[in-house]
Amino acid sequence: MSSRNVREKLWLAIRALTTSGGTLQERLVSAATGLCSLPSNNELPKQYEEALSSIIRNLTKNHAVGNEGRIEATTRKISDQDASRIANEILDLYTSLRGGI
């Protein structure tokens, strides 16, 4: 998958974070769904691949419980501060891939 496709998924994640209703944790679920569907062979430069992998790890670190998936299980347990940090990491990665502001 090209970096253009990754940028598109990041843009959709940012859009979900800024336009969806609900708590930041709930909006992160929407944002994470597209990001977590990205294949691991993204053809991204190493620093961007590491940043994307870190974001995905932070959004999927808890095991699924009942009918909820890993993303929901994780975001349900994270603090507002951690949710904000992850949202900023998504924005920072998108901005970096676009070449800055």
Tens digits of residue pLDDT in 56-68: 999 999 999 899 9
C-alpha–C-alpha distance, residues 63 and 67, integer Å: 11
Does 54 score more than 60 pLDDT? yes
Give the range among 22-31, 33-42, 45-54 with minimum mean pLDDT: 33-42
pLDDT at 49: 87
Total residue length of the chain: 101
Question: Rounded to whole angstroms, how far apart are CA atoms 73 and 68?
Answer: 6
| Range(s) of the domain holding residue 53 | 3-97
Q: Look at the chain and report how many structural domains it folds into.
A: 1
